[in-house]
Structure 1
Amino acid sequence: MTGFFKFISYLKSQFILFKSIKFKSPLIVHFQWLKVPQIDYYLLKLIKLNGVKIIITAHNVLPHDTGDRYEDIYKKIYSLVDAIIVHSNNTEIEIIEKFKVSSKKIHVIPHGILDIGQNIDSKKIDYYVEKFRSDYDLDKRIVFSALGKINDYKGYDLIVDAWNKDNVSNNEQLMLFIAGKGKHRKLDELKGKKNVTILNRFLLVEEFLAILKLTDFVLLPYTRISQSGILLTAINEKKRVVVSNIGGLADSFKFGEIGYILPELNYIELNKAIMHMALNVDAYPKEETWNKIFEYFDWENIGLKTQNLYSTL
């Protein structure tokens, strides 16, 4: 019943939005999310009939973690709107190939860096840093982490299989930290490993940031994604990453080496990457590299690019 009321509430909010558009007659409406695309499509059509141009930001090619369920309706939506903002060139190519959308309609504007610790008491973060360091014996260890909600698309099967190889699983210098809520059939295979810590629960923001600060390398062997909030948060903390070459995961590497891009998406390559990064743990990116990355993902620059798109339309 709760879902029903949420649905009715959403319909009501969209009706109010359309009334507001009718009353104020804007030149452009920019949508960041479409929660019920089958219904939102008809709202978009009504907006277009009123002479208003529409921009949609495609944070992902299709709604996150839904497979191809919405492919047909998004083909209609992408065809209808006047402009599509994507966060990476890979996403642009995927939309063009999958939906036959004109490249002139698509505009690449990056998603900004995420600083989730802005309003957090740093003393609380420091407390958890020391607690985790002591509780899990992290001193003098090279820490690899997989953080956030546990989902199949994040490549946990690859992480488990890569870590289970003897060269990693028997290496006491290394520690794998998996922290976040969710289920995955492969995680049980890591139980009992002395160099694995699994916190399978919801994390406080302070806990998340503490683990990130203790991390040397963040593992992001994602199988399907356009852009990652975990990646953008890790970059904000100047953390090195191991990424698959999909979506915008590898975009930062055009400014310099900040970790490792997997040449192929399988556990053997991930195992090689883990060993390579462990052997080169002291090879930190230059400050100049981080400065270029921060400039690229700067929210003010992103705002100007978005404003320029509005002006163009």
Structure 2
Amino acid sequence: MRGARPRVFMMDLWAIVPYYTAYLSKALLAEGVNLQVGSISYYLDPKCFSERGIQPDPGLLNVVGRFRLPPLPRRVLKLAEALVNMAALAVRFLIAPPDVIHVQFLPMFRWRLPLDRWLLGLCRWRGAKIVLTVHDLLPHDTGESYKRTFLNLYRFVDAIICHSDYVKARLAAEFSVPEEKIWVIPHGPFFYDLPASVSAGAFESLGIKHHGVMVLWQGIIFPYKGIDLLLRAWQQVEAGGSDAHLVVAGTGSPELVEQIREQIAQFGLNRVEMLFRFVSAEELVALYRAADVVVYPYRAITTSGALATGLALGKAIVASDLPVFRELLTNRENALLVNPENTAELAAALVEITHNATLREQLSRSVRKMNFGDQSWLSIAAKTREVYTHVLALECVP
């Protein structure tokens, strides 16, 4: 290992996964890791890092993320800022590279000019070790279009962190990654550190009518997350005479949002409320705490920050019976699991849980016993530090 405290650069230059980066970085700093967080401010929550004691350093500029701008100007300015920052980092790392670069996301990797990938190549040439966290095996809803591109990336890095044994098995089987190169470290919870009691104003600002049993779907809207399946199943919940109402809260492309609106109208659903905007951290916690049930009707998943939030806040859960979810959830012990894309099973589970307060409390109690919080992230940080130690020792192997 190089010195007593090797230098680690946490790389999420465009703040693509800001909460994961922030929570992990906070825990690593608490573990004594000599860490620099390479990220701009998250434009939707500029205090995401500072509230957790982190001062991000993306290279030279950190301006665009501090302001709410219209989408097109923001993208243009963000790209210009990124180019300046990568040039500054290239000069800095050419002179004094970090010992480890821990990559969270490479937003330019699929471009014809993958500048962030080239920056890693420069650092590798200068002796830095590269650790990659796999948040998604392949970009969602792209099939295998980028499989060769990601296969090359997985071969290039020195170690890979994923969040489940299922993803590790797929990395080995589908991308021929040696198992000794893959480390399984769980995904930690979000927002457990916010106040247990939320202000009335936080919930009122959402414009949600809190009546009856509240079922929540929350996240970034993508087809693989199964909102269309949920709405099909919800027809049976409304037909069963329950007083339950469904809240769909998230952001996504205008096309997907319009499809959801059209589906609600087509099915004649009366007890569905839509919240298609960014929800602040305080509002998000208010939304989760108000919910009686959270639902994850996904078709497929690599990892889920939304599930981590539901677990951290001790909610009763209905989810697709997917391998990644099964590593955390057991049917009728801490969740109701249903076959993916089986709307009849999903509807039956939703009808049962919305009518059965005892079941909801039993599932919620079991989730709370899982004890997600600071200790979870400290454990994650300790394991992550082991990865750094491992890759730095690789240079000593003949």
Per the normalisation by structure 2, the TM-score is 0.68
User: Cα deviation per residue 1:166-206 (whole Å; 9 max; x = unaligned)?
Assistant: x5434233222222344152443334533322233443444
| Structure 2: distance between partners of 1:65 and 1:118 | 33
**Mapping for residues 200-239 of structure 1, pairs under 5 Å:** 200-239=276-315
**Mapping for residues 145-156 of structure 1, pairs under 5 Å:** 145-156=216-227
| 1:112, distance to aligned residue in structure 2 (A) | 1.1
Q: Is the Cα contact below 8 Å between 1:172 and 1:194 reproduced in 2?
A: no
Which of 357, 368, 379 is equivalent to 1:301?
379
Per the normalisation by structure 1, the TM-score is 0.84
- Greater Cα shift, 167-176 or 27-36: 167-176
Q: Structure 1 residue 275 and structure 2 residue 345: aligned?
A: no
Q: Which residue of 2 aligns with 1:59?
A: 135
- Unaligned 5+ segments in structure 1 are none
| Structure 2: distance between partners of 1:219 and 1:45 | 41
Which of 84, 97, 100 is equivalent to 1:28?
100
- For the residue of structure 2 that corresponds to 1:249, the secondary structure is helix
| Structure 1: distance between partners of 2:306 and 2:93 | 35
| Structure 1: distance between partners of 2:221 and 2:288 | 16
- Greater Cα shift, 34-43 or 182-191: 182-191
Q: Structure 1 residue 190 and structure 2 residue 264: aligned?
A: yes
Q: Is the Cα contact below 8 Å between 2:162 and 2:185 reproduced in 1?
A: yes
- For the residue of structure 2 that corresponds to 1:242, the secondary structure is strand
User: Cα deviation per residue 1:139-176 (whole Å; 9 max; x = unaligned)?
Assistant: xx2221112333222101101111123x5434233222
Q: Structure 1 residue 179 and structure 2 residue 249: aligned?
A: yes
User: Cα deviation per residue 1:66-109 (whole Å; 9 max; x = unaligned)?
Assistant: 55443222111101101011111222222223212111111111
User: Cα deviation per residue 1:248-304 (whole Å; 9 max; x = unaligned)?
Assistant: 333322698221122343212211221232344313247575333427971110110
State the Cα RMSD in Å.
3.1
Q: Structure 1 residue 70 and structure 2 residue 146: aligned?
A: yes
Count of matched residue positions in the alignment of Structure 1 and Structure 2: 307
| Structure 2: distance between partners of 1:130 and 1:100 | 46
| Structure 2: distance between partners of 1:189 and 1:296 | 40
| Structure 1: distance between partners of 2:200 and 2:214 | 21
| Structure 1: distance between partners of 2:206 and 2:279 | 16
Q: Which residue of 2 aligns with 1:12?
A: 84
| Structure 2: distance between partners of 1:305 and 1:204 | 30
| 1:220, distance to aligned residue in structure 2 (A) | 0.6
- Greater Cα shift, 226-235 or 79-88: 226-235
Letter in 1 for 2:263: E
- For the residue of structure 1 that corresponds to 2:289, the secondary structure is helix
- Unaligned 5+ segments in structure 2 are 1-71, 392-398
Structure 1 residues 65, 18: closer, same or farther in 2, change over 3 A? Answer: farther
Q: Which residue of 1 aligns with 2:198?
A: 122
Letter in 2 for 1:34: L
Structure 1 residues 62, 130: closer, same or farther in 2, change over 3 A? Answer: closer
Q: Is the Cα contact below 8 Å between 1:54 and 1:81 reproduced in 2?
A: yes
User: Cα deviation per residue 1:194-232 (whole Å; 9 max; x = unaligned)?
Assistant: 332223344344443333222121111112332222211
Q: Is the Cα contact below 8 Å between 1:86 and 1:109 reproduced in 2?
A: yes
- For the residue of structure 2 that corresponds to 1:252, the secondary structure is coil
Structure 1 residues 8, 247: closer, same or farther in 2, change over 3 A? Answer: farther
Q: Is the Cα contact below 8 Å between 2:198 and 2:286 reproduced in 1?
A: no
- For the residue of structure 1 that corresponds to 2:386, the secondary structure is helix
Among all aligned residue pairs of Structure 1 and Structure 2, give the percentage whose two residues are the same amino acid. 28
Q: Which residue of 1 aligns with 2:50?
A: none
| Structure 1: distance between partners of 2:348 and 2:331 | 23
Structure 1 residues 129, 210: closer, same or farther in 2, change over 3 A? Answer: farther
Q: Which residue of 2 aligns with 1:164?
A: 235
Q: Is the Cα contact below 8 Å between 1:110 and 1:297 reproduced in 2?
A: no
Structure 1 residues 203, 54: closer, same or farther in 2, change over 3 A? Answer: closer
User: Cα deviation per residue 1:94-131 (whole Å; 9 max; x = unaligned)?
Assistant: 22232121111111111211017627983245753997
Q: Structure 1 residue 113 and structure 2 residue 189: aligned?
A: yes
- For the residue of structure 2 that corresponds to 1:298, the secondary structure is helix
